[in-house]
């Protein structure tokens, strides 16, 4: 890692022998110094070698394959339905981002491209393919859909790129990837990129890559040193209230960051929670919108565009947004849930602290997530710093009545009373007050129901055992001495 870093400091894009038109686009974009993975991968790709790139997210992997591809594809022309290069991405958003990179770097080169992703009409995509494309960017499922419909031939692919391979594994795309490899020419050049190297990924690279140039610029599954991390250990006051109290804690954590928080991505493990958290934030006045795989593609695109443009402050996302989304200035990442797969933690927090910027990642951990937190810390090989609960100074997480134990040095006892909430209904009058009010009501004002049976009234049956003849004195029984009764009567009369 140190060796690559030192070499990178002496390298400029102008030293990488890219095409002059590509170099012009890079200069216009304002880039001068390549990242470590770019400095290592681009020369090998220009030589026609297979490349195996292992690097954490946000290190510039996309340019590592787009720049040499554009240089190599500048010569030649695509045939109808036969793309000259193929880029596979796990999600629609990542595929669209790769397409944007091609637009940026190939604006001075006459190359055609097509983007094959779900949620878009097949007809429009078929029209692009029929005209012939130099660069085909696709998700695996939509690519195979076109192939099976007979609208696409892969026999002329000269360069094949697999981006975010470990995410492909998590999403179950590995069988599709293996099938696509069998459909492209054996003599193709393969550029393979992944943030981690699971055993299954290792098997695929050994099978389909030929003597690749291995470029690894950071220890596998490490978080950027520019990201400040922290976790709040939280337990709800009651199981049925934990979800709402957790959302309240999220809002408190957001507020505690103040002006340091310019925008943030909030990750949830479940799509349903994404919608609930986004709706909750909007209810309390926070500018938030959800994004996950069940939403329409046009809505996802609008949401992402708004977030990139700064029109949307909070993006509540599932892991569909955890990989590859290039939003340069995300100040914060909140993990509303501890991710089920520890590797996803690295990719989630990698949305902040990009391109050398500082970032902050805050996570909420409930008791059921503690095993996942241990997995994350095992992967990072260090403990995630514990943060104080910003709500701790207010109402405690559990309702405790110490009964003066703090003053007497005794151990507090836990109250059996239900904890008070903001939305609690107004307290009713004490029973004693109700009884007093009933006693003050004149007897003649009380409604009397019409009797429809012959059941004797209580008064007809005579006094009950233990009852008082004079109800003005209560609690003395039938055998009260007369002098005591007299004293009560005098006091009541006074």
Is the CATH code 3.90.1150.10 the one for domain 227-380? no
Q: Six-digit token pair at 199? A: 């055993």
pLDDT, average across residues 185-202: 91
320 with 299: CB under 8 angstroms?
Answer: no
pLDDT at 40: 92
pLDDT at 277: 97
pLDDT at 77: 84
pLDDT at 436: 34
Torsion of CA 373, 379, 384, 389, to 10 degrees: -20
Q: Six-digit token pair at 135? A: 């660069």
**Three-class DSSP category at 466:** coil
Q: Which residue has the higher pLDDT, 316 or 221?
A: 316
165 with 94: CB under 8 angstroms?
Answer: no
pLDDT at 451: 41
Quickly state the pLDDT bin for 316 (edges 50, 70, 90). very high
> Residue 59's closest CA among 307, 326, 318?
326
**Residue-wise pLDDT tens digits, 363-401:** 999 999 999 999 999 988 899 999 999 987 543 333 333
At the top level of CATH, the class of 2-216 is alpha beta
pLDDT at 152: 94
Task: Calculate Rg over the CA atoms of the chain.
Answer: 35
Of 62-76, 92-106, 133-147, 415-429, the poorest mean pLDDT is in 415-429
325 with 97: CB under 8 angstroms?
Answer: yes
**Residue-wise pLDDT tens digits, 114-153:** 999 988 889 989 999 999 999 999 999 999 999 999 999 9
Domain 2-216 matches domain 227-380 at the CATH topology level: yes
Q: Is the pLDDT of residue 160 over 50?
A: yes
Burial 163-196 (b: 16+ CB within 10 A, else e): bbbbbbbbbebbebbeebbeebeeebbbbbbbbb
Strand (E) or helix (H) holding 114: strand 113-116
Q: Is the pLDDT of residue 177 over 90?
A: yes
184 with 147: CB under 8 angstroms?
Answer: no
Q: Six-digit token pair at 35? A: 């990242």
pLDDT at 191: 97
User: How many Å apart are CA 71 and CA 22, to the nearest integer?
Assistant: 7
Q: Six-digit token pair at 168? A: 């492909």
> Residue 147's closest CA among 165, 164, 125?
125
Strand bridging mode 189-194 / 113-116: unpaired
For the chain, domain boundaries:
2-216, 227-380
Structure-token match 């097949």, residue found: 122
Q: How far is CA 89 from CA 122, 123, 292, 314, 426, in A?
A: 18, 21, 16, 25, 56
Q: Which residue has the higher pLDDT, 178 or 318?
A: 178
Q: Kindly report the pTM of this predicted structure.
A: 0.61
User: How many Å apart are CA 231 and CA 383, to the nearest integer?
Assistant: 10
201 with 171: CB under 8 angstroms?
Answer: no
User: How many Å apart are CA 368 and CA 389, to the nearest integer?
Assistant: 18
Of 145-154, 227-236, 239-248, 480-489, the poorest mean pLDDT is in 480-489
Quickly state the pLDDT bin for 156 (edges 50, 70, 90). very high
Q: How far is CA 377 from CA 76, 216, 417, in A?
A: 50, 22, 38
84 with 156: CB under 8 angstroms?
Answer: yes
Q: Which residue has the higher pLDDT, 207 or 485?
A: 207
Strand (E) or helix (H) holding 438: helix 431-440
Q: Which residue has the higher pLDDT, 365 or 91?
A: 365
User: How many Å apart are CA 442 and CA 439, to the nearest integer?
Assistant: 8
Q: How far is CA 207 from the centre of its chain?
A: 34
pLDDT, averaged across the chain: 80
User: How many Å apart are CA 428 and CA 443, to the nearest integer?
Assistant: 24
For the chain, how many residues are written? 494
Beta bridge partners of 386: 231
Contacts of 370 (CB under 8 A, 6+ apart): none
DSSP 398: S
The number of beta carbons lying within 10 Å of the beta carbon of residue 423 is 6
User: How many Å apart are CA 94 and CA 422, to the nearest integer?
Assistant: 43
Q: Six-digit token pair at 379? A: 């992967």
Q: Six-digit token pair at 148? A: 């099976």
Quickly state the pLDDT bin for 442 (edges 50, 70, 90). very low
Angle (CA) 91 94 97, round 5°: 150
Backbone angles phi, psi at 134, to 5 degrees: -80, -35
**Three-class DSSP category at 231:** strand
Q: Is the pLDDT of residue 444 over 70?
A: no
User: How many Å apart are CA 280 and CA 293, to the nearest integer?
Assistant: 20
Quickly state the pLDDT bin for 296 (edges 50, 70, 90). confident
346 with 379: CB under 8 angstroms?
Answer: yes
Q: Six-digit token pair at 471? A: 């109800």
232 with 248: CB under 8 angstroms?
Answer: no
């Amino acid at each position: 890692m140190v060796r690559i870093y030192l070499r990178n400091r002496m390298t400029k894009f102008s030293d990488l022998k890219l095409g002059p038109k590509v170099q012009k686009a890079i200069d216009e974009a304002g880039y001068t110094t390549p990242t470590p993975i770019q400095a290592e991968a681009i020369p090998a790709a220009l030589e026609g070698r297979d490349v195996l790139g292992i690097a954490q997210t946000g290190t510039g992997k996309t340019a590592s394959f787009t720049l040499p591809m554009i240089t190599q594809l500048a010569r030649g022309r695509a045939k109808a339905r036969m793309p000259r290069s193929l880029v596979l991405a796990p999600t629609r958003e990542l595929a669209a981002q790769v397409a944007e990179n091609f637009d940026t770097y190939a604006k001075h080169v006459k190359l055609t491209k097509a983007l094959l992703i779900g949620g878009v009409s097949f007809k429009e995509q078929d029209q692009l393919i029929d005209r012939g494309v130099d660069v085909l960017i696709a998700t695996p499922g939509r690519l195979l859909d076109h192939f099976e419909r007979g609208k696409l031939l892969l026999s002329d692919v000269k360069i094949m790129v697999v981006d975010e391979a470990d995410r492909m594994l998590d999403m179950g795309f590995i069988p599709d990837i293996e099938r696509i490899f069998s459909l492209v020419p054996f003599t193709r050049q393969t550029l393979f990129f992944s943030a981690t190297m699971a055993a299954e990924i290792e098997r695929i690279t050994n099978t389909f890559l030929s003597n690749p140039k291995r470029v690894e610029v950071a220890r596998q599954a490490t978080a950027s040193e520019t990201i400040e991390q922290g976790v709040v250990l939280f337990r709800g006051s009651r199981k049925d209230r934990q979800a709402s109290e957790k959302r309240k804690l999220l809002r408190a954590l957001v507020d505690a960051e103040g002006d340091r928080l310019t925008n943030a991505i909030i990750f949830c493990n479940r799509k349903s929670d994404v919608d609930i958290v986004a709706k909750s934030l909007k209810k309390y006045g926070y500018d938030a919108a959800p994004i996950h795989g069940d939403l329409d593609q046009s809505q996802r695109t609008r949401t992402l565009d708004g977030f990139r443009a700064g029109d949307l402050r909070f993006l509540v996302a599932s892991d569909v947004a955890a990989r590859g989304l290039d939003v340069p200035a995300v100040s914060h990442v909140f993990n509303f849930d501890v991710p089920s797969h520890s590797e996803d933690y690295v990719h989630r927090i990698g949305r902040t602290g990009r391109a050398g910027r500082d970032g902050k990642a805050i996570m909420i951990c409930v008791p059921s997530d503690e095993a996942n937190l241990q997995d994350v810390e095992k992967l990072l090989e260090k403990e995630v710093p514990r943060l104080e609960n910003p709500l701790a100074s207010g109402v405690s997480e559990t309702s405790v009545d110490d009964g003066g134990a703090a003053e007497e040095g005794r151990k507090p006892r836990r109250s059996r009373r239900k904890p008070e909430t903001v939305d609690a209904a107004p307290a009713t009058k004490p029973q004693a007050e109700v009884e007093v009010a009933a006693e003050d009501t004149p007897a003649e004002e009380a409604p009397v129901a019409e009797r429809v049976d012959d059941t004797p009234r209580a008064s007809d049956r005579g006094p009950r055992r233990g009852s008082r003849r004079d109800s003005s004195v209560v609690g003395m029984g039938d055998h009260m001495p007369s002098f005591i009764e007299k004293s009560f009567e005098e006091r009541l009369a006074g």
